[in-house]
Amino acid sequence: MTVAAAAGAGWLTLLYKEVLRFWKVSFQTILAPVLTALLYLLIFSHVLESHVSVFDGRVRYTAFLVPGLVMMSVLQNSFANSSSSLIQSKITGNLIFVLLPPLSPLEIFAAYVLGAMVRGLVVGLGVFLVTLWFVPMSIEHPFWALAFALLGSAILGILGLIAGIVADKFDQLAAFQNFLIMPLTFLSGVFYSIHTLPPFWQSLSHFNPFFYMIDGFRYGFFGLSDISPPLSLAVVATACAALAALTLRMLQTGYKLRN
């Protein structure tokens, strides 16, 4: 009586739906953040290029800025994708279509996080390609850059999922974004090297996981970093595993979703 179904294949459709969802409004979800990053690059490089020295003058400030802006775009858009998708589905009630099928908590987790990663990485690639027009760049260690981009987008995708689960209205989600994600991103060394900061702020930066993501990603471009790349990778991977475990627990118990 039932149509033959491939066990466990449903999550791929959820992933497809998540990608299709942002692709259908790509003006807002891809082109707008690329333009924003480009404006940051043009303005900050014009104002600060001759005033700021990074990595003891071995890297031009404008070039230094590019990986930071790429990673910032990756992080912000990964968070935006999973969080907005989930909160919209919760508020409009169409989340029921995801909760009724035989999808496991792990499958729901994987689909939302991978969908967020795809958007973050597409925007990040877009920012990189556009900035190449203004700043010729080479990538010294592409695998390091890729590893941090993947882990960074995964972490923010997971954080977006947590925010989407916890928030009951858009206002609460905006608070999560404006009072947590934005400050952590802007204070992570996107626009500066932490060595230019006073000692207190340097120490404080070490408690910001976003700092390790951006510093490690930048190492992939220049072969230079504020922190040893393996240490950054360990911090980022640990944060990713811990957040994934927390989110899976939320999904398994049905916290705020199945009640």
190 contacts other proteins (rule: CB under 8 A): no
Residue 93 interacts with other proteins (CB under 8 A): yes or no: yes
Residues 70-89, interacting with other proteins (CB under 8 A)? 89
Task: Name the β-bridge partners of 59.
Answer: 54
- List Cβ neighbours of 106 (8 Å cut-off, separation of 6 or more): 248, 251
Residue 28 in the binding site for other proteins (CB under 8 A)? no
Phi first, then psi, for residue 62 (nearest 5°) are -60, -40
* Cα–Cα distance, 25 to 31 (Å, whole number): 10
Residue from 42, 99, 132, 241 in contact with other proteins (CB under 8 A): 99
Q: Which stretch binds other proteins (CB under 8 A): 11-19, 116-124, 170-178, 198-206?
A: 11-19
Q: Which stretch binds other proteins (CB under 8 A): 93-101, 177-185, 192-200, 227-235?
A: 93-101
Q: What angle do CA 69, 71, 77 make, to 5 degrees?
A: 100
Instruction: Quote the least distance from Cβ 84 to other proteins, whole Å.
Output: 12
- The reply to whether 207 sits near other proteins by the rule CB under 8 A is no
The answer to whether the beta carbons of residues 72 and 37 sit under 8 Å apart is yes
Q: How many residues bind other proteins (CB under 8 A)?
A: 35
- For other proteins, the closer CB: 66 or 95: 95
**218 to 257: interface string for other proteins, x by CB under 8 A:** ------------------------------------x---
Which positions touch other proteins (CB under 8 A)?
1-10, 12-14, 16-17, 20-21, 24-25, 89, 92-94, 96-104, 254, 258-259
